Homo-oligomer: A and B are copies of this chain.
Amino acid sequence: MTATIKSLGEQGLLKIFRQYCSDVVGDDAAPMGTTLPEHQMVVTTDMLVDGVHFSDHTTNPEDVGWRAAAVNLSDLAAMGAKPWGLVMSVGLPPDTEVAWIEGVYRGFSECLQTYGTELVGGDTVRSPIRTLSVTAFGQVHQSQIIQRHTAQVGDAIVMTGVHGLSKAGLELLFNANLKEKLLAPLKVRNRILAGEGLVEAICRCHQRPIPRFDAIALLHKLLKQHNHLKDFPISGMDSSDGLADAIAQICRSSKVGAKIFWRSLPIHRAVRTLAGESALDWVLYGGEDFELILCMPFKLAEPFVHQLSNAAIIGEIIEGNQIDGLEMRSAFQHFS
């Protein structure tokens, strides 16, 4: 018989939770210490619901946990902040398998360890639908906060990695036939094994997003070398709602327009193969790639994209309120 939350009981569930939680005292609230000198606290929160944000069909429990952590950590990275701690509340139907929630905590914890932070508290309640709610705290030096309303005319628009691969991964997970489409052109060249590895790698792009703390660290390193740059000339956000949405939101908040370098906009080979004529759509509107879209002076952007794999300068901030060549479609309904 499979063990369920009901058979485990509240106390048993709490015991599992505590294995992954740093707050061993169990007070009403978890003590976190003080902010670092000259640092600000930043906070972000996301709710993930079974059937809406994840499903057994596409995501195993470890990946659900990783994703719940990563989407919040990505918001911290997008502010230029280092993680300070996270809390996770979980709503579970009594017939949930114990192995499922253990897997979620394991994947969550694995992501936190990878980025040097920890789970400090949470809540476990009964719910008809599996629900995770995560709040993440970070700290950022008060002079180095990245926000979306400070883009300057003349800034380069930089993206930190490939867009459209999360969408590609999701499509591959939902549609087994697509896999053949991806492998077919490779078979010709006798690289089937590499192709299989590619399918898995693309699925991972959807299942295990990577918060781009590495990009922020590189930025700080470059800024030290370019200390003639006054203040902190960087704005931006993450691309969780899509590349096009991020550009539009930065422009709208900063009251500027953008020129996109369409000819040099990178489109990954796998996205071209899977999406065909829709390849550009996947790149612009696919969403959930959790890359960073940053605006900064060209003299900083150039060494940045040179030193960060897959990063690219994809446009320039201009005067006005138009984003040259970008169709105002679905993702933009927010702002109509």
Contacts and interface: CB of A to CB of B under 8 A. Distances in A.
A47 B89 contact: yes
Interface string A101-144: 00000000000000000001111011111010101111010100
A171 interface: no
Given A34-B35, A53-B125, A43 B29 contact: yes
A56 interface: no
Interface in A78-111: 78-79, 81, 85, 87-91
Interface stretch (A58-66, A145-153, A199-207): A145-153
Contact of A133 (B41, B85, B89): B89
Interface stretch (A20-28, A162-170, A271-279): A20-28
A322 interface: no
A214 interface: no
Contact of A11 (B38, B129, B333): B333
Contact of A34 (B9, B29, B30, B40): B40
Nearest to A88: B45
A226 to B, nearest CB: 24
Given A25-B253, A91-B131, A147-B25, A43 B32 contact: yes
Contact of A47 (B46, B74, B133, B237): B133
Interface in A294-336: 333-335
Contacts of A184: none
A281 interface: no
A29 B42 contact: yes
A33 B85 CA distance: 16
Given A51-B128, A127-B129, A85 B43 contact: yes
A329 B91 CA distance: 26
What is the interface residue range for chain A against chain B? Answer: 35 or more
Contacts of A4: none
Interface string A268-291: 000000000000000000000000
A291 to B, nearest CB: 13
A75 interface: yes
A197 interface: no
Contacts of A81: 29
A11 B135 contact: no
B135 A87 contact: yes
B41 A34 contact: yes
Nearest to A47: B89
Contacts of A148: 25-28
Contacts of A142: 34
B28 A32 contact: no
15 contacts: A25-B149, A29-B42, A29-B75, A29-B79, A29-B136, A30-B42, A31-B140, A32-B42, A34-B40, A43-B120, A44-B87, A44-B121, A45-B121, A128-B129, A137-B137
